[in-house]
Amino acid sequence: MAIERLLKDEATEEKGERARMASFVGAMAIADLVKTTLGPKGMDKILQSTGRGHNVTVTNDGATILKSLHIDNPAAKVLVDISKVQDDEVGDGTTSVVVLAGELLREAEKLIMSKIHPMTIIEGYRMAAECARNALLKRTTDNKEDPEKFRSDLLKIATTTLCSKILSQDKEHFAKLAVDAVLKLKGSTNLESIQIIKKAGGSLSDSFLDEGFILDKKIGIGQPKRIENARILVANTAMDTDKVKIYGARVRVDSMAKVAQIETAEKEKMREKVQKIVAHGINCFVNRQLIYNFPEELFADAGILAIEHADFDGIERLALVTGGEIASTFDNPESVKLGRCKLIEEIMIGEDKLIHFSGVDMGQACTIVLRGASSHVLDEAERSLHDALCVLSQTVNDSRVLYGGGWPEMVMTREVDELARRTPGKKSHAIEAFSRALQIIPTTIADNAGLDSAELISRLRAEHHNAASAAGIDVLSGTVGDMEKLGISEAFKVKQAVLLSATEAAEMILRVDEIISCAPRRREDRM
């Protein structure tokens, strides 16, 4: 008797070999897509949205590229996901993790073709990943105790991270900006205290780090332009009720005089509210919402600087850096915590006026002002700088450092090869495959720079035969160079995250033996 179909019409299912092939092909296609963006000579991609305005993004950040893609293949979605997690967790290595996972699957495909069971491959990969991680742990350096050396390490890491981004031309300048900003955080990984303001105009090298806080707003008319020893009340309250809102209220009156009475009552209510705020003994009032003309006049008469419509991120950060709290009721002045700073003044950046708060309570805050030729350049510069700041803030906590330029991968390859020789049975094939897959990172770095990768990798392997070697790929001169002398360093945390995430993602896709896609929902005929 024929078995009835289990799934609905139009639902599809792929089993066994076909399902595995579909998963492998999707994951490898995603890896090949971002492969060209890896390394100092990686190329950029233009992403154009189909929405209104057809927004264009120019980037070589793996996570940004993959986030923008609408992907149908389920295995490819797993790789997009690990790239996002890598971006959130450590900030850098988003392309490396996808490229490595894709290569692990490419090697696994060859093993499955030669009739090795996926579970055997997974077991081998797990042993190899553990061995590779231990190899890196043995070779890390930690200069946390020596502030001078540690700062130099951070500068090297920032320079290496920025090398492959749009900021590579001014990498020393931006590395110094990023390190200064992160050291101000004093060990915190909360990057909200670092504000990045983008202003078109000038060149990237005109960007600067400002001690203190800059709010992208203008000072109102007739208000003091400079305040010393400021006491700041940060609020989120409606300051626009001095007019009758026609749309929100229905009031029946028998004469126009009554309308005037209602307006007067509204005004009095607003005057009382302003008096309550003034009673806090402040000289600066920053509000998240609108401030209408009448309360603005009252504040100006009281000599208080009133700033309206400060964006929510802006007031949250301002409350954080000045040591105040966001208030919404003003009946108990003693329970409201005011923010303080030494000086508030208006400054000009390019053509725009902004408000500058200096001498803030929390010395951890600072503002990085980015200048650049166009909004696309500024957006990409912000992404690049954000990556560097993430990596540095993680390194301040976990201060172990490795050399870069393909050196970690060659160290791991050497140890994993040793493990393969010692391991009996079919697992050794999987461990060898893992060792070959690790070499994809230095190979791609060389390929993207237009160098002969086969020649360079074989020379690197020979160099790494000596266990204490610091050899890696020097892309600028096109040869094998000494990473210690070139000052190319990477954070151990980034490399570890790349290794473990890629292995886990590859393992997850390897376990798949069936793909079931549900039937699309039918649109009902509403005729």
Residues labelled as active-site residues: 61, 94-95, 387
In whole angstroms, give the CA distance from residue 164 to residue 36.
Answer: 11
Q: Contact 497/129 with Cβ under 8 angstroms?
A: no
In whole angstroms, give the CA distance from residue 111 to residue 20.
Answer: 13
Q: Partners of 474 in the beta sheet?
A: 479
**Phi, psi of 338, rounded to the nearest 5 degrees:** -85, 150
Give the orientation angle of helix 427-438 with respect to helix 94-113, to 10 degrees: 140
**Phi, psi of 21, rounded to the nearest 5 degrees:** -65, -40
Residue type, 316: E
DSSP string covering 452-472, please? -HHHHHHHHHHHTTSTT--EE
> How many other C-beta atoms lie within 10 A of the C-beta of residue 108?
26
> How many other C-beta atoms lie within 10 A of the C-beta of residue 152?
15
Q: Partners of 56 in the beta sheet?
A: 48
Q: Contact 213/367 with Cβ under 8 angstroms?
A: yes
Q: Which residue has the tokens 């490898």?
A: 28
Closest CA to 265 of 246, 279, 244: 244
**Hey, is 488 helix, strand or coil?**
coil
Contacts within 8 Å (CB) and 24+ apart, 291-296: 291/220, 291/239, 291/240, 292/239, 292/240, 292/242, 292/243, 294/242, 294/267, 294/270, 295/239, 295/242, 295/270, 296/220, 296/223
In whole angstroms, give the CA distance from residue 432 to residue 107.
Answer: 9
In whole angstroms, give the CA distance from residue 315 to residue 319.
Answer: 6
Q: Partners of 368 in the beta sheet?
A: 196, 209
**Where are any strands of DSSP class E within 350-430?**
352-360, 366-372, 400-403
DSSP string covering 190-235, please? -GGGEEEEEEEBS-GGG-EEEESEEES--PPTTS-SEEEEEEEEEE
Helix (H) or strand (E) holding 514: strand 514-517
- Strand 194-200, strand 366-372: pairing: parallel
Give the orientation angle of helix 492-510 with respect to helix 118-138, to 10 degrees: 180
DSSP secondary structure code for residue 376 in this structure = H
